[in-house]
Amino acid sequence: MPAGYELAKRIDRSTVVEAGGARFGDGGFSLIGGPCSIEGADQMERVATAVRDAGGAMLRGGAYKPRTSPYDFQGLGDRALPLIADAAEHAGLPTVVEALAESQVPLLQTYVDMIQIGARNMQNVPLLRAAARTGMPILLKRGPAATLDELLCAAEYVLLEGNERVVLCERGIRGFDSNTRNVLDLGGALRLKELSHLPVIVDPSHASGRRSLIEPLTLAAAAAGLDGAVVEMHPEPDRSRSDAPQAIDCATFARIAAGVRSITGALRGEASRCFSVL
Ligand code: PEP
Ligand code: MN
């Protein structure tokens, strides 16, 4: 039986994906920070400044929110896009925003640097193709009950459009214990690196659902040698209009970024010691 992902499968090199100046898969650990939902200009300015000052690589924010309940905040929609674009421009950061529908792709193309395909849409083939055809980098999140092969087949749809700019994201899979929102599959994320040449990052926010776990899970991913993390943060976390329990504050984001730097620095030191022995 064919693997189903000829173009995504591991080859003798790793692909580096560049998104508005941020780089994934070059041996570093790229941190994306920003709120679950874009709520206003002041919120976005404060978060963008904090991400930039901490040395983060990219600003995130949801405009079209895929909420479980139709009664929950659905995002500001189209009018959120200039808010994130302006804040990011002032801070000098690139941006990533999720597309929920094909119709949103052209507007995203004019306002952001990277398109996110969310967990619920991982196998939405028309959306994958429409996003891929922009030629923009794609942040492809693993569905909460998707196998690694299914995720790689979804990536294959993008690659088949001639777009190799795909970053895979492990964002937690469904477990049986509601103490954490999902289960961060770190082993699965590492296995993806064995199976594919594409960069792999984690989302500890949707994986754990708890702000106390974001820092240690991000540092674990950095220590494991993965390519980055996307973290939900808010200047006033308890006031977040969505996913407040998993939102960290700006000071915690800065501490995580510093922790990541010391881990990646130590790993590089180890590697250079190994090479000098060889
Ligand atoms: C998000 O990143 O805003 C999001 C909704 O994540 P996921 O698709 O992983 O649930
Ligand atoms: Mn969220």
User: What spacing in Å lies between the alpha carbon of 40 and ligand 2's midpoint?
Assistant: 16
Q: What is the mean pLDDT of residues 26-31?
A: 97
Amino acid 278: pLDDT: 35
Instruction: Give the total number of structural domains in the chain.
Output: 1
User: What spacing in Å lies between the alpha carbon of 273 and ligand 1's midpoint?
Assistant: 39
User: What spacing in Å lies between the alpha carbon of 119 and ligand 1's midpoint?
Assistant: 6
For 220-266, write each residue's pLDDT tens digit: 999 999 999 999 999 999 999 999 999 999 999 999 999 999 999 99
Amino acid 277: pLDDT: 42
Q: What is the mean pLDDT of residues 145-159?
A: 98
Q: What is the mean pLDDT of residues 116-137?
A: 98
Q: pTM to 2 decimals?
A: 0.96
Q: What is the mean pLDDT of residues 207-226?
A: 98
pLDDT of 193 over the 50 cut: yes
From the CA of 62, which ligand is nearest? Answer: 1
Ligand 1, pocket-test mutation among 72, 76, 206, most atoms within 8 A of CB:
206
Amino acid 273: pLDDT: 62
Q: What is the mean pLDDT of residues 118-143?
A: 98
- Confidence band (pLDDT; 50, 70, 90) for 156? very high
Q: List the one residue out of 189, 191, 117 whose CA is nearest residue 154.
A: 117
- Confidence band (pLDDT; 50, 70, 90) for 270? confident
Mean pLDDT of the chain: 96
Q: Which domain holds residue 257?
A: 3-277
Q: Kindly list the protein residues whose Cβ atom lies closer than 6 A to any atom of ligand 1.
A: 36, 62, 66, 98, 118-120, 141, 171, 203, 206
User: What spacing in Å lies between the alpha carbon of 264 and ligand 2's midpoint?
Assistant: 27
Ligand 1, pocket-test mutation among 98, 115, 151, 240, most atoms within 8 A of CB:
98
Amino acid 2: pLDDT: 55
Q: What is the mean pLDDT of residues 70-87?
A: 98
- Give the whole-angstrom CA distance, residue 8 versus residue 56: 27
Taking CA atoms only, the protein residue closest to ligand 1 atom 4 is 118
Confirm if 37 and 73 have CB atoms less than 8 A apart: yes
9: β partners? 196
Please give the C-alpha separations between residue 172 and each of 119, 178, 186, 207, 227, in angstroms, as whole numbers: 10, 12, 9, 4, 16
Looking up residue 119, the CATH number of its domain turns out to be 3.20.20.70
pLDDT of 170 over the 80 cut: yes
Element (H, E) at 214: helix 214-223
User: What spacing in Å lies between the alpha carbon of 34 and ligand 2's midpoint?
Assistant: 10
Which residue's entry shows tokens 């193709």? 129
